[in-house]
Amino acid sequence: MESLTPQSTNFSEWYNQVITLSDLADKSPTKGCIIIKPYGYAIWEKIQSILDQKLKHIGYQNAYFPMFIPQSYLSKESEHIQGFAKECAVVTHTKLKTDNGGIILDPNSKLEEPYIIRPTSETIIWHTYKRWIHSYRDLPLKINQWCNVCRWEMRTRPFLRTSEFLWQEGHSAYEDYTSAKNDTINILKLYRDFGKEYLSIPFIQGRKTLMEKFAGAEQTYTLEALMKDGKALQCFTSHLLSQNFSRAFDVKFLDKNNELQYAYGISYGISTRIIGALIMLHGDDHGLILPPKIAPIQVVIIPIYSNIQELNMIKDYIMPYLDILHSLNISYHIDDREYFHPGYKYHHWEIKGVPVQIRIGKKDIKNNTVEIFRRDTMSKTTISNDNLPQTIIDTLSIIQDNIYANALHFTQENTFHVDDYDAFKDKILHNKGFISYPYNPEEEEKIKTETSATVRCQVIDDNGEILDTKRALFSQSY
């Protein structure tokens, strides 16, 4: 089995290798796109199912809008088109035909107006909201969509930046500015808490500068996380659109005083990029480390045997405990492949980041024990079978917390506070990490050019207010 390049040797190479070796994704024949393999997709399904419940709980309803957006719609909000014009997949024809034995575009099938594959759906959704919103009784309107989107990128990296990616996009409309702003912050906090509880990711919550905000938003709020190479990754954004899209698409409603008003909007979303954060924040030189709450397989059982009778004995021995785990909603997998030796299997499931391995040999049956292997600490313990289900539950919970504690410790250790520009440049080039540095909008472009670092955000409190308006967090980023 191939071994991984250490993170410290070449983080980027480590990242690409771990994705391949852990079976998260594969390359595709489409430029800038990946194939999300079953193991990677199962993580996305877990994230989807948890978030979908949370969003429904706060009143969101799922719907589906066409992926083809008429080109003219994209231009209706002037900042929006500027932001997306350079990365559009444009559909211009609808037929192919045979020509000299080859297949070519049928010129007669050219569309009068091209369609853009949605880079995001504000335009088509606000166009529709004009028909759905007439009175304050129609508000708030909270619609969510799970779908694919396309931003044709020049430099792509698996999960982090791909031409097509999967995401969830929430779009809501309100009667007044305050409700819209409050929900922009509330939804940010919902995702922050989800990140902490399920993904073991300590997010920094903040507001983007005007230079870094979403094209078409009044303000963009963000959750940023620090990866193990010291670069920041934007993991979630929520946008206070205010009346920008309601004005562009003429969405007015009769308010309680019977006066016509433009509705206020927000939008937000999380994408398959978050899988990149899980890899780069938690992973180590042995492979992935998956938080138990979103691991597709939480426990893998590796029987150590030399013939089929021994294998069956081991299975008989462990099965009653696995039934208990199953009834407790713990997912497990028995790796009984005959053509691999145990050492290969240990390594295989380490790379895949399965939180717990249960290793069982003949001796264990005699002693009424099993060996428990923890992926996060790479440590082994032999325990008595009597305690098995409870030990597994406790261990998974400890791992979940430990992964978070490690990530938090790492983020704190790599957050620096400097006031001097030379010190800032030195930190950003050598230590990387988050750097808190005085913020001056007029210097933002210069700093980006000189250091390639960008303002990730100005850190906010739970009310959405900037904690220190004079400072911002800078970082190299993905």
* Positions that interact with a copy of itself (CB under 8 A): 26, 28-30, 33-38, 41-42, 44-45, 61-75, 81, 85-98, 103, 105, 114-117, 124, 127-128, 131-132, 137, 143, 147-148, 150, 152, 163-164, 166, 339
Least Cβ distance, residue 184 to a copy of itself (angstroms): 22
Least Cβ distance, residue 172 to a copy of itself (angstroms): 13
185 or 351: CB nearest a copy of itself: 351
What DSSP string runs through 348-377?
HHHHTT-SEEEEE-HHHHHHTEEEEEETTT
Q: How many whole angstroms separate alpha carbon 301 and alpha carbon 285?
A: 23
54 or 93: CB nearest a copy of itself: 93
CA Rg value for the chain: 25
71 or 261: CB nearest a copy of itself: 71
Q: Locate 358 and state its tokens.
A: 């249960």
74 or 407: CB nearest a copy of itself: 74
Q: How many whole angstroms separate alpha carbon 59 and alpha carbon 63?
A: 13
Least Cβ distance, residue 63 to a copy of itself (angstroms): 5
Q: How many whole angstroms separate alpha carbon 466 and alpha carbon 458?
A: 6
100 or 339: CB nearest a copy of itself: 339
Query: What H or E segment, with its residue span, contains residue 140?
Result: none
Q: How many whole angstroms separate alpha carbon 439 and alpha carbon 433?
A: 17
Q: Are 398 and 405 in contact (CB under 8 A)?
A: no
Strand-pair category, 299-303 with 264-271:
unpaired
Q: Are 301 and 354 in contact (CB under 8 A)?
A: no
Least Cβ distance, residue 458 to a copy of itself (angstroms): 32
Closest to 67 (Cα-Cα) out of 189, 169, 197 = 169
Those residues with Cβ within 8 angstroms of residue 449's Cβ, 6 or more apart along the chain or in another chain: none
Least Cβ distance, residue 426 to a copy of itself (angstroms): 38
Those residues with Cβ within 8 angstroms of residue 68's Cβ, 6 or more apart along the chain or in another chain: 91, 115, 116, 117, 118
Least Cβ distance, residue 297 to a copy of itself (angstroms): 12
Closest to 242 (Cα-Cα) out of 214, 262, 221 = 262
Least Cβ distance, residue 111 to a copy of itself (angstroms): 9
132 or 177: CB nearest a copy of itself: 132
128 or 395: CB nearest a copy of itself: 128
Least Cβ distance, residue 195 to a copy of itself (angstroms): 22
163 or 451: CB nearest a copy of itself: 163
